[in-house]
């Protein structure tokens, strides 16, 4: 017996909202999405999907198409400014069939959107500000009310209005550092196969991730995502000394990465990002359930946020399908995600200052110990589990629902 044909509202059409819309519509529920943007679309440059997120795409029947436009990533390489290795981790050391996939956000958005077509309604240009007193309807900025609904899925991102209204006690802190990032051409494919980061203590971090092309584009449209870490107060006025001076700075720091910026003329070609650290004791209140960054925004240092959003959506639909009441479904959803989310919130909070902060001492410790830890038998396995997104609790491991081992989804190496 499962919860049947609910009338469900989803607030936000980012990765969490998109995946929830597909799963819940496929389970037979009536789904209506509310998105504040007049033209729903992706925000930002590129993203690394982990084996966890890829297993969700496989479950949705979208992995083959993701592989045709994304760029396989087999290895995470971090070097310091002297060229010394700080970390070098390969997915295959955890599981021979595993890999990551760099994707343009636009490609992931289109893929998920294509799976929702004709299955529900998307109401764009509606910004939700809160719920009605009984928690069953939504209120928007124009004063209109929508509903009632049997369930409201709050997938309105890290700065969630629904969380601020319904869960004011949740932890919600802004990290002191952020980043600027953009997509660049890499015609010679010098950055294929790996996420490469370069660090100077924790004050500078630059990274390059291959992210492939958009659906329908040809090979020549292959892109990499370039990112540059900045302290929050610097980010607001970046580039204070001028764009050309900043490019010269990048060239002195990492010439190969600076080559990628050759055709960039202005800082307006870059997206800026701040990160939040959001923790909720329980990801639902009444009939409002929180998914993705609205529930557990974290720093992108571990590259898990979008993967978590996909896993949340999968878990919510499965929990509702396995219970007789909505309340039972939400409790089951909470139990399932509690096995996985808190350890990443914890690690992300403690790891981020090792890569983005003014703490030179901790950065030196990182440089001294990350490499040896990454080679030590037990620690190496735990670090790989963190990277792949499958770490659960102290020593557990998430078993993704769909295997990546089948021949059809093997990564081209």
Ligand X SMILES: Cc1cc2nc3c(=O)[nH]c(=O)nc-3n(C[C@H](O)[C@H](O)[C@H](O)COP(=O)(O)OP(=O)(O)OC[C@H]3O[C@@H](n4cnc5c(N)ncnc54)[C@H](O)[C@@H]3O)c2cc1C
Report the residue from 78, 283, 303, 329 that binds ligand X according to the rule CB under 6 A: 303
Find the binder of ligand X among 95, 127, 192, 259 (CB under 6 A): 127
According to the binding rule CB under 6 A, does residue 106 interact with ligand X? Answer: no
Residue 289 binds ligand X, judged by CB under 6 A: no
Nearest alpha-carbon partner for 110 in 63, 58, 42: 42
Stretch binding ligand X (CB under 6 A), from 88-96, 297-305, 324-332, 341-349: 297-305
If one asks whether residue 186 binds ligand X (CB under 6 A), the answer comes out as no
Nearer to ligand X by Cβ, of 56 and 201: the residue is: 56
Total residues contacting ligand X by CB under 6 A comes to 33
Q: What are phi and psi of 279, to 5 degrees?
A: -135, 130
C-alpha to C-alpha distances, 148 to 5, 18, 135, 279, nearest whole angstrom: 14, 21, 9, 28
Interface residue with ligand X, options 172, 186, 277, 293 (CB under 6 A): 293
Q: Which position among 52, 194, 229, 304 is part of the footprint of ligand X (CB under 6 A)?
A: 304
Which of 24-32, 149-157, 244-252, 332-340 is the region at the interface with ligand X (rule: CB under 6 A)?
149-157
Q: Decide: is 300 part of the binding site for ligand X (CB under 6 A).
A: yes
The site string for ligand X over 267-286 (x = CB under 6 A, - otherwise) reads: ------x-x-----------
Is the CB of 5 or the CB of 145 nearer to ligand X?
145
Between 2 and 234, CB nearer to ligand X? 234
Q: Which residues in this chain contact ligand X in the complex, by CB under 6 A?
A: 11-17, 34-37, 47-48, 127-128, 155-157, 161, 179, 181, 273, 275, 292-294, 300, 303-307, 309
């Amino acid at each position: 017996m499962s919860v049947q044909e609910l009338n469900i509202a989803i607030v936000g059409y980012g990765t969490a909202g998109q995946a929830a819309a597909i799963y819940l519509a496929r389970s037979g529920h009536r789904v209506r999405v509310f998105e504040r943007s007049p033209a729903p679309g992706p925000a930002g440059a590129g993203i690394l999907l982990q084996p966890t997120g890829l297993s969700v795409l496989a479950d949705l029947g979208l992995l083959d198409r993701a592989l045709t436009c994304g760029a396989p990533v087999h290895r995470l390489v971090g070097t310091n400014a002297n060229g010394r290795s700080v970390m070098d981790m390969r997915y295959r050391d955890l599981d021979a069939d595993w890999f990551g996939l760099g994707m343009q956000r636009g490609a992931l958005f289109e893929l998920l959107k294509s799976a929702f077509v004709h299955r529900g309604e998307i109401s764009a240009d509606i910004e939700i500000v809160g719920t009605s007193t009984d928690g069953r309807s939504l209120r928007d900025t124009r004063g209109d009310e929508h509903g009632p609904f049997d369930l409201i899925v709050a997938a309105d991102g890290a700065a969630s209005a629904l969380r601020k209204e319904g869960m004011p006690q949740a932890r919600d802190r802004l990290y002191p550092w952020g980043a600027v990032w953009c997509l660049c051409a890499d015609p010679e494919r010098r950055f294929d196969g790996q996420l490469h980061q370069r660090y100077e203590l924790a004050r500078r971090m630059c990274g390059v991730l291959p992210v492939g092309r958009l659906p329908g584009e040809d090979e020549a449209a292959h892109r990499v995502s370039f990112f540059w870490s900045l302290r929050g107060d610097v980010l607001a006025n970046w580039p204070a000394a001028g764009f050309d001076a900043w490019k010269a700075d990048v060239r002195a720091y990492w010439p190969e990465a600076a080559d990628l910026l050759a055709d960039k003329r202005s800082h307006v070609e870059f997206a800026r990002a701040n990160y939040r650290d959001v923790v909720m004791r329980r990801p639902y209140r009444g009939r409002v359930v929180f998914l993705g960054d609205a529930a557990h925004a974290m720093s992108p240092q571990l590259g898990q946020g979008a993967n978590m959003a996909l896993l949340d959506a999968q878990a919510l639909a499965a929990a509702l399908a396995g219970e007789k009441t909505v309340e039972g479904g939400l409790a089951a959803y909470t139990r399932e995600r509690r096995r996985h989310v808190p350890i990443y919130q914890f690690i992300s909070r403690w790891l981020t200052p090792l890569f983005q902060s003014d703490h030179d001492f901790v950065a030196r410790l990182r440089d001294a110990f990350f490499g040896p830890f990454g080679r030590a038998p037990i620690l190496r396995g735990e670090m790989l589990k963190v990277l792949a997104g499958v770490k659960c609790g102290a020593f557990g491991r998430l078993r993704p629902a769909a295997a990546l081992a089948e021949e059809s989804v093997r990564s081209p190496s």
